[in-house]
Structures are given as structure tokens and as C-alpha cells.
């Protein structure tokens, strides 16, 4: 895990003209390194998101260079891979919609790029929602919560009762981030 993490992050950092220290600092944070050294999928997400954003930032740092199909495929493909284990991160793809028009040789190329970013986001989102839609409420148990946790029913509740869910979420956040609970959430980090 650590070798894959280090190699993918290295490839991303190598592309940058400036800002390598920032990406290095983020990827070398103790939590990120701890996740990369355990048996989890989190290192995979961090590594490929870092690579994808390093690629994106590298393109922004080179305003005279035109974005090639290979560049777009590597950037969006890495992000798609990053979202494989946890598709909920698809929203992190949205800043890539702001690639400047000057990076493309034609207006058609810019439109195709925008459509590709949206298509990747929709594909990731559909892979996230498909298991819930296909389950008909039977759902899946979440290993972290035991067999009593039904992810499909949780999503169905959120979608059918957005105001009630918002109230529950805000109440939880309020109590979790309160001063009375500070020692608990600070120890988690």
C-alpha cells in the first residue's frame, strides 16, 4: 500500500511546476501515512485524488500549453479510479470544470472536455446510487455498524425526509463539535 501510495503521489508531484511542497505536506500528514500503511482503501483514494489534482494544477500552471486528450484522460481517469472505493467523493471533480478556455485549441474541444468531466461525475454518481436503487429496500449491511445497519434504508430516509434528516444531522454535529465533547473529537484526529 505504501509503495503504491508513494509512487502515485510522486507522479503527481513530478508534474507540478510549483506547489509540490503543499501537495507533499498534505500527502505526508501522519493520518494519510497511517492510512497508507494499513489494510484499507483510503490510501488509494488519497493518492489518486492527489495525482488528479496535481495534474489539474499542473495544467493551470502552464497557460500556453494546450490540454491534450492524453492529459484529460489521465487526469479524469485517475479521479475515476480514486472514486472506485468510495464514490461519494465525486463532488471533488467539480473544480475541474473551471479549466480555462485558453487551454483548448477550439471551442469544441472545451465543450467536449466539460462534457467529459460531467460524464465522469455522472458515471461515478450512478455507480454510487445503483446499489441503493437496485436493492428495493433490502439493502446492505455496513460492516462498521453490524447487520442492523441498512445503507439503502438510510439513503431512502434521507431522500424522502430531507428536512428531518437535516435536523438530525445538525443536532448531531452540534453535540459532536460541542465543548463538552471536545476531548472525544480531538482525540480522533
* Mean pLDDT of the region 75-89: 89
CB atoms within 10 A of CB 101: 12
∠ CA 71-74-79 to the nearest 5 degrees?
A: 130
Query: With 80 as the cut, is the pLDDT of residue 54 above it?
Result: yes
Give me the pLDDT at residue 156, please.
78
Give me the pLDDT at residue 25, please.
87
* Mean pLDDT of the region 86-113: 92
Confidence of residue 133 (pLDDT cuts 50, 70, 90): low
Confidence of residue 186 (pLDDT cuts 50, 70, 90): low
Give me the pLDDT at residue 94, please.
92
Contacts of 61 (CB under 8 A, 6+ apart): 16, 17, 18, 19
Give me the pLDDT at residue 114, please.
96
CB atoms within 10 A of CB 171: 10
Query: With 90 as the cut, is the pLDDT of residue 76 above it?
Result: yes
Comparison of pLDDT for 114 and 24, the residue scoring more: 114
Query: With 80 as the cut, is the pLDDT of residue 151 above it?
Result: no
Give me the pLDDT at residue 98, please.
94
Name the burial class of residue 186, with classes exposed (0-12), middle (13-18) and buried (19+) by CB atoms within 10 angstroms of its CB: exposed
Q: For residues 77 and 55, give the distance between their C-alpha atoms in angstroms, rounded to a whole number.
A: 11
Q: State percent of the chain over pLDDT 70.
A: 85
Q: Is 149 helix (H, G, I), strand (E, B) or coil?
A: strand
Q: State percent of the chain over pLDDT 90.
A: 44
Query: With 90 as the cut, is the pLDDT of residue 127 above it?
Result: no
| Spatial CA neighbour of 124 closest among 169, 87, 74 | 87
Confidence of residue 135 (pLDDT cuts 50, 70, 90): low
Amino acid at each position: 500500500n505504501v509503495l503504491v501510495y508513494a509512487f502515485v503521489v510522486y507522479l503527481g508531484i513530478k508534474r507540478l511546476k510549483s506547489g509540490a511542497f503543499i501537495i507533499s505536506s498534505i500527502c505526508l500528514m501522519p493520518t494519510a501515512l497511517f492510512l497508507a500503511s494499513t489494510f484499507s482503501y483510503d490510501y488509494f483514494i488519497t493518492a489518486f485524488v492527489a495525482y488528479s489534482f496535481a495534474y489539474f494544477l499542473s495544467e493551470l500552471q502552464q497557460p500556453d500549453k494546450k490540454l491534450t486528450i492524453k492529459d484529460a484522460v489521465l487526469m479524469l481517469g485517475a479521479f475515476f479510479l480514486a472514486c472506485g472505493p468510495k464514490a461519494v467523493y465525486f463532488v471533488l471533480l467539480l473544480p475541474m470544470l473551471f479549466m480555462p478556455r485558453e487551454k483548448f485549441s477550439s471551442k469544441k474541444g472545451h465543450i467536449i472536455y466539460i462534457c467529459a468531466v460531467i460524464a465522469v461525475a455522472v458515471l461515478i454518481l450512478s455507480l454510487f446510487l445503483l446499489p441503493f436503487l437496485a436493492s428495493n429496500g433490502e439493502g446492505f449491511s455496513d460492516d462498521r455498524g453490524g447487520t442492523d445497519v441498512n445503507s439503502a434504508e438510510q439513503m431512502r430516509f434521507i431522500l424522502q425526509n430531507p428536512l428531518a434528516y437535516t435536523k438530525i444531522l445538525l443536532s448531531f454535529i452540534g453535540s459532536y463539535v460541542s465543548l463538552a465533547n471536545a476531548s472525544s473529537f480531538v482525540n480522533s484526529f
